[in-house]
Amino acid sequence: MKLATKIIGGIFALLFILLFIICERDRPVSELIPLYANQDSRFMPILGMKVHYRDEGVQSDSVPLILLHGMSSSLNTWDSVAMGLKSARRVISLDLPGFGLTGPSPENTYNFDYYSKFIDSFTTRLRIKRFILVGNSMGGAISWNYALHNPKGLAKMILIDAAGYPKKGESGSLGFKIASTPVINNLLLYATPKSLVRKSLETIYFDQNRVTDAQVERFHDVAIREGNRAVALEIFKGSFGTTKNKGQINQVKTHTLILWGDKDNVISVENVALFKRDILGSRAEIYQNVGHVPMEEVPGKVTASILNFVR
């Protein structure tokens, strides 16, 4: 009994030492703004936050595109696509509440109802009455739920590898797997090693050579932005799970384009057929040898697809 107690005590001591070694403090946003905001960045006070966004392109465009990133990402995921779109359209990208430089919401609520309220507030502040939502992954799910919330406000919608249906056995991202594992996921509040960030990014891309040191550094930095890890953990623990609109994709009436990478390991390309079935009149394009973030792997093709759809 004494030996077993010593062994268990030793294991806990080693775990404590390991956690102490890899533990990282949250980084205040004041340290990150000089690194990841640029000359086009703006900060809007809204719902108790300073929302980081960029409003680029043709300012006379009365129906702008609003780009919504996915889980644990930021507006930077759209950089190349925004560059291609802004010569023809007004393009607005933003860090959603809980992510990027925007950081957590004072309401500490993260579900489809909250994000719909946020989009309403954001567009009202910018005096935008109608717009086109473009959403990837979680941003796609927020988009189609917003289409249920305010169908008159949406002119069109573009879903890129969007969430919305039950998992189909996808291998998924290593980071997402850990974040979804009870008890163990609590460690991510204190330790977010760059090696884990790199491995997660490598599962998101089909072409793993696209993962650069600079990209790993940025994803890591915005992940440990003060408050962001707690938000991610809350979402992985199911904050979206009880929202009233869940499972009502077949009620969406907005004219929709569905874009997908055929090698998506996070949300299977099989979901394309489900979205096409449930959103009447929608159309789809599938990119060959592309993963979960086509706008980063094949931005030129995504830009062309978007422009053809919105013209």
Q: b or e along 237-246 (b: 16 or more beta carbons within 10 Å of the residue's beta carbon)?
A: eebbeebebe
Answer yes or no: is pLDDT of 297 > 90: yes
Q: Count of CB atoms within 10 A of residue 15's CB?
A: 11
Contacts of 23 by beta carbon, 8 Å cutoff, 6+ apart: 190, 191
Which of 37-46, 138-147, 202-211, 291-300 is predicted with the least confidence, judged by mean pLDDT? 202-211
Task: Give the rounded percent of residues in the chain with a pLDDT score beyond 90.
Answer: 72
Residue 107 in tokens: 């309401």
Express each pLDDT in 216-241 by its tens digit: 999 999 999 999 998 988 887 777 76
pLDDT of residue 25: 83
Q: What is the DSSP string of 130-144?
A: SEEEEEETHHHHHHH
Express each pLDDT in 172-208 by its tens digit: 655 555 555 655 555 565 678 888 889 889 989 999 9
Q: Going edge to edge, which strands form the sheet with 49-57?
A: 41-46, 49-57, 90-94, 65-68, 131-136, 154-160, 256-261, 283-287
Answer yes or no: is pLDDT of 254 > 70: yes
Q: Which of 15-19, 21-25, 76-80 has the highest mean pLDDT?
A: 76-80
- Rounded to whole angstroms, the Cα distance separating 90 from 103 reads 25
291 confidence band (pLDDT: 50, 70, 90):
very high
pLDDT of residue 182: 59
